[in-house]
Amino acid sequence: MVVKQPRAEPTDEALKTALSQLDAAADRLHLDDGLRDMLRTPKRELSVHFPVHMDDGTIRIFHGYRVHHNLARGPAKGGLRYHPQVSLEEVRALAMWMTWKCAVVNLPYGGAKGGVVVDPKDLSLRELERLTRRYATEISIIIGENEDVPAPDLGTDPQVMAWIMDTISMHRGHTAAGVVTGKPVSVGGTLGRLEATGRGILYVTQEVARRYGVALEGATVAVQGFGNVGAVAAHLLSQAGARVVAVSDRTGGLYNPNGLRIEQLLSYRKDRAPLTTGPGGDRITNDELLTLDVDFLIPAALENQITARNAPRVRARYIIEGANGPTTPEADAILNENGVVVVPDILANAGGVIVSYFEWVQDLQFYFWEEAEVNERLHKVITRAYRDVAATAEEHGISLREAAMVLAVGRVVEATRIRGIYP
Ligand code: NAD
For residue range 57-88, what is the model confidence (pLDDT) as tens digits?
999 999 999 999 999 999 999 999 999 999 99
Atom of ligand 1 nearest to the CA of 345: 44
Catalytic residue among 77, 101, 113, 183: 113
For residue 355, give every residue at least 6 positions away whose Cβ sits within 8 Å of its Cβ, in sequence order, or none: 190, 192, 193, 196, 374, 378
Q: Does 191 sit in the ligand 1 pocket, CB within 6 Å? A: no
* Confidence bin at 10 (pLDDT 50/70/90): confident
How many whole angstroms from 54 Cα to the centroid of ligand 1?
A: 30
pLDDT at 2 over 60: no
Strands 220-224 and 296-299: parallel
How confident is the model at residue 216, as a pLDDT? 97
User: Which of helix, strand or coil describes residue 398?
Assistant: coil
How many whole angstroms from 365 Cα to the centroid of ligand 1?
A: 32
pLDDT at 8 over 90: no
Q: How many CA atoms lie within 13 A of 150 on its CB side?
A: 30
Share of the chain above pLDDT 70, in %: 98
Burial pattern 404-418, b for ≥16 Cβ within 10 A else e, equals bbbbbbbbbbebbee
Q: Does 197 sit in the ligand 1 pocket, CB within 6 Å? A: yes
Atom of ligand 1 nearest to the CA of 197: 40
Whether residue 108 has a cis bond before it, omega within 30° of 0: no
How many whole angstroms from 242 Cα to the centroid of ligand 1?
A: 21
* Confidence bin at 12 (pLDDT 50/70/90): confident
In the DSSP assignment, the letter for residue 306 is: B
State mean pLDDT over 172-189. Answer: 98
Q: Does 117 sit in the ligand 1 pocket, CB within 6 Å? A: no
Span 414-423, pLDDT tens digits: 999 999 999 9
Strand order through the sheet with 59-70: 44-53, 59-70, 110-117, 76-83, 148-152
Kindly calculate the radius of gyration of the chain based on its CA atoms and give it in whole angstroms: 21
Span 296-319, pLDDT tens digits: 999 999 889 999 999 999 999 999
Q: What is the overall mean pLDDT for the chain?
A: 96
pLDDT at 121 over 90: yes
Span 248-298, pLDDT tens digits: 999 999 999 999 999 999 999 887 889 999 999 999 999 999 999 999 999
How many whole angstroms from 198 Cα to the centroid of ligand 1?
A: 11
Share of the chain above pLDDT 90, in %: 94
Atom of ligand 1 nearest to the CA of 324: 32
How many whole angstroms from 322 Cα to the centroid of ligand 1?
A: 8
pLDDT at 120 over 80: yes
Question: Exposed (0-12), middle (13-18) or buried (19+): which is 281, by Cβ within 10 Å?
Answer: buried
| 113 given a catalytic annotation | yes
Given ligand 1 and candidates 161, 197, 226, which is best to mutate, with the most ligand atoms within 8 Å of its CB?
A: 197
pLDDT at 5 over 80: no
Q: Does 286 sit in the ligand 1 pocket, CB within 6 Å? A: yes
In the DSSP assignment, the letter for residue 327 is: B
* Confidence bin at 89 (pLDDT 50/70/90): very high
Q: Does 287 sit in the ligand 1 pocket, CB within 6 Å? A: no
State mean pLDDT over 49-61. Answer: 98
How confident is the model at residue 163, as a pLDDT? 98
Q: Tell me the C-alpha distance between 10 and 22, whole Å.
A: 14
How many whole angstroms from 59 Cα to the centroid of ligand 1?
A: 33
How confident is the model at residue 38, as a pLDDT? 97
State mean pLDDT over 203-215. Answer: 98
Is this model's pTM higher than 0.85 or not? yes
State mean pLDDT over 118-132. Answer: 98
Q: Does 132 sit in the ligand 1 pocket, CB within 6 Å? A: no
How confident is the model at residue 7, as a pLDDT? 66
